[in-house]
A and B are shown apart, each in its own frame.
Chain A
Amino acid sequence: MISLSEIDTTTKRACKAMGFSWGIAEEVGKNMRNMELFGLPGVKNLNEYFKIYPNKQYQKISLISQNNISDKIPYCPIILGVNFLDQVKVLEKNKKIIFKNIAFPMLFLPFVSRGSEVIGKRIFLEIEEKKFVFNFNQTIYSNISDQLIITNVENLSLSFIENSNSFSDDEWKEIYKLSEKTFVEEKDSLKAHSAGAGLTDND
């Protein structure tokens, strides 16, 4: 089995060999390591992309906006990803961002995953019927099959999920009530001799 360390080093070098800068190659190495760690087909997609990369033209986006459309040639997922990562703190102000026409969109995913960690928010992403939730670069939920290669996608959208509870106030109260059963009722003698911060004391 190839180790993650080998994946990182080798894909970084491959990326540099394709003409990307060392700094971008470092990002890609880290991404491939993450994708394989999460069980996503990183090396497979990168390999396919690099087979056709030298012979095709790609749109190299710079500033990302709410709607990003490239009619004629597809966006390069690596340049798109690097810029997304670099601009994510500005981009999160938009609720939803749309990209039209991206080559090998799977290679864009690890940048989004890392972006989720940078801004401390979950990100929901759709590649047509395929759905992904990025959880702070800790996990990725998706409905895709394991070894998917997508060469091009017309529509990709992502939304920043505001941090909020996934449960209702009533549900929280119910679970809290159960937790109280681990507390000891303080009688007068305990109050007198067992000093310590109470449940609501924060000092």
Chain B
Amino acid sequence: MKIELRDPNKIMKLSRLGSFHQSKLSFLRSFLQEFKDWDYQRDLFDLDENGYGKAIYSFKKKNKIYSLICFSNYLKDEERSDRVIATKWDAAFVLHDGIPTKQDIERLYNNVPKQEIGRVSYKELSLSRANKSVRIFNHVIESLSVGKQPDKKIISEVGYLYRTTAVYGSGKFGLADRFRLKNREEINGPFRLEMMLVYLVRQFTFDQVNHVAKLKNPNKAVELDKEICRNLGIGNSTGLGMAPFIVNHPILLNNWILARETALKKIREIQIVKSDDKDLFYSCLKKSIKNITSWNSDSEFQKNKIKQLLSDLNKFINFIENKFDFNQEYAFNKMYLWIESNLKEECIEYIVSIMMEPYEQITGPLVKQMSSDEEKYFNIPTERTIFDLREILEKKYENIIKIDFNERKNNKFFWFVSKNKEEPRLADRFIEEGHELEQPLAIARDIKKLYERIANEKNSKSIGNFLIENNDLRHVVRRAFIIEKFPYSEIQDNIIGSNLIPIDMLRLKLSFFGALKFDPRSDKWLRITMFQGAPLPNELKNFNEQWIYNSLN
């Protein structure tokens, strides 16, 4: 049986994209798979009794080495902020290509803690900073130093000792450009270096609390229990900075979504589901419920989503336990058809993610197709005609071209870059100043404008000739010819409309990272946890691939 890929007009709606969850395709999981046979080492650990100083961790295989350099320093409580506008942090990190020399460490010591106002070099691959969750951090040290393990309840309320507030890569602040690394197979997956940085930072946080507790009370202190370590991840605060990324990298976005859609299609095409695969699916599903019941958020929006998800999941479990026959042909397809008709988007995508768990043979090859070569499709095919362009717009932007942008509500926001921090922001164009400096992210509006502009053009006119007088719409002409080849490259929604929920855009990206426990702090930023439940670096040679469901608290 041949199943069609899901319709981009439906899947690329923001409410659907904002309902995505981690899966076997997620970058932090594929990073662990790739690096499981690398040698992990702590090369330097030079911290004082307060945990301030530097440390170096590395992954090594044959002659390849990646080193994380950590700088930890004193920070006044009043200086601690997760906002991107902060200028000081509890710790700063950089991933270096190879073994850093003394001069490298000195150079990085003078720059990495400054983050955006420092400079790094082409020898560095990723840059980040993080703040302590002071309450948890202090509680853990207090407990360990008197010979006790910390209270698991307190630990599980937060889920991490540190949270990063930005993780940079690909040429930012002088970091290595992607082209320098493109032939390295081990990092041929999106954000793999960023994942490595975050994963090694997690280990640093455990070593730091053990070290401080030990020096505080050398005779009584104990080390943090390994099981507790595994259940701690790294938090992350994410704001609007991430949102334009998915608009600015249409081919990359396509490749992520296409991988997910292809996996689902292939799973739905399985004629007979093997008993072991059914068992693994069911086991992951049941265990994953802990993920939802331990998902804390103060956001009413998220609380409602979690409540609905839990209710839908119970409905689904009741269905498969009492009314569903896994032995029937194309069982996953029938299951999918049922969930599409009976459950809400959040739960549909949750189950789609879990469906992938038994099928490494399907997801493994897809992981390798999730990067992109954006340059290859940058040139506009100017020999094509207005006829072609009109056809693309009518087929691929079917809903977008129906939007009336003369209505105020459809034209409410503008995206801009803040002068203070060079970060993307969103504002109401009818209230705030600055809309004349709008970024080219209002794709829906500009596509509609393009559609109207070509209305009276001759079908036979070449795009090259059209552009002579219409270069103001060049950016969307380019996109139209990209979506023709890459069906999931465009968000099928208006991201300047009054009903925009920006965190949907963040959640989409973070779900592909492999984040858990989305915790919106407003409609524009949220907190998440990464690597919670993941094996520790010295356990990588042999770990359970479904760790994400096994170890959650």
Binding site for B on A (CB under 8 A): 1-6, 13, 21-24, 26-27, 30, 37, 62-63, 82-83, 85-87, 89-90, 114, 117-118
Contact = CB atoms under 8 A, between A and B. Distances in A.
B471 A118 contact: no
Nearest to A13: B417
Contacts of A118: 379
A30 B378 contact: yes
B464 A86 contact: yes
B250 to A, nearest CB: 12
A52 to B, nearest CB: 22
Contacts of A27: 474
A89 B383 contact: yes
B172 A23 contact: no
A23 B179 contact: no
A196 B472 CA distance: 57
B174 A2 contact: yes
Given A1-B121, A5-B172, A26 B468 contact: no
Nearest to A6: B171
8 contacts: A1-B122, A3-B171, A21-B474, A23-B471, A23-B476, A30-B375, A82-B474, A86-B380
A1 B174 contact: yes
A87 B471 contact: no
Given A21-B475, A23-B477, A83-B468, A5 B379 contact: no
Contacts of A26: 378, 474-475, 478
Given A82-B467, A118-B379, 5 more contacts: A1-B122, A5-B171, A6-B173, A21-B473, A86-B464
A86 B467 contact: yes
Contacts of B378: 26, 30
Given A4-B179, A89-B382, A21 B174 contact: no
A86 B382 contact: yes
Interface in B322-346: none
A95 B170 CA distance: 41
B475 A3 contact: no
A87 B474 contact: no
A23 B176 contact: no
Do most interface residues of chain A lie in helix, strand or loop, or is the interface mixed? helix
A5 B245 CA distance: 14
A114 B467 CA distance: 17
Contacts of A2: 174
A13 B469 CA distance: 22
B389 to A, nearest CB: 14
B464 A3 contact: no
B125 to A, nearest CB: 12
B487 interface: no
A166 B535 CA distance: 58
B471 A4 contact: no
Interface residues on B, range: 20 to 34
Given A22-B440, A26-B478, A89-B383, A5 B472 contact: no
Interface of B: 121-122, 170-179, 375, 378-380, 382-383, 417, 440, 463-464, 467-469, 471-478
B471 A24 contact: yes
A6 B174 contact: yes
A83 B468 CA distance: 7
A85 B174 contact: no
Listed residue (A1, A3, A63, A83) with the most chain B CB atoms within 10 angstroms of its CB: A3
B469 to A, nearest CB: 8
Contacts of B177: 3-5
B80 to A, nearest CB: 29
Closest 8 CB pairs of A and B: A23-B474, A5-B171, A3-B171, A22-B440, A23-B475, A86-B464, A86-B382, A21-B472
A94 to B, nearest CB: 15
Contact of A23 (B171, B382, B468, B478): B478
Contact of A114 (B173, B379, B477): B379
B468 A62 contact: yes
A107 B48 CA distance: 54
A89 B122 CA distance: 38
Given A23-B474, A23-B477, A118-B379, A3 B468 contact: no
Contacts of A114: 379
A21 B471 contact: yes
A4 B171 CA distance: 7
Contact of A22 (B172, B382, B417, B474): B474
Contacts of A86: 380, 382, 463-464, 467-468
Contact of B172 (A6, A13, A117): A6
Contacts of A4: 171, 177, 179
B464 A22 contact: no
A89 B464 CA distance: 10
Contact of B468 (A5, A21, A63): A63
Given A3-B122, A22-B474, A85 B468 contact: no
Contacts of B472: 21, 23
A82 B471 contact: yes
Given A22-B440, A26-B478, A82-B471, A90 B170 contact: no
Contacts of A23: 440, 471-478
B21 to A, nearest CB: 30
Contacts of A90: 464
A91 B184 CA distance: 40
A62 B466 CA distance: 11
B472 to A, nearest CB: 5
Nearest to B439: A22
B168 to A, nearest CB: 11
Contacts of B476: 23
A91 to B, nearest CB: 10
A139 B471 CA distance: 28
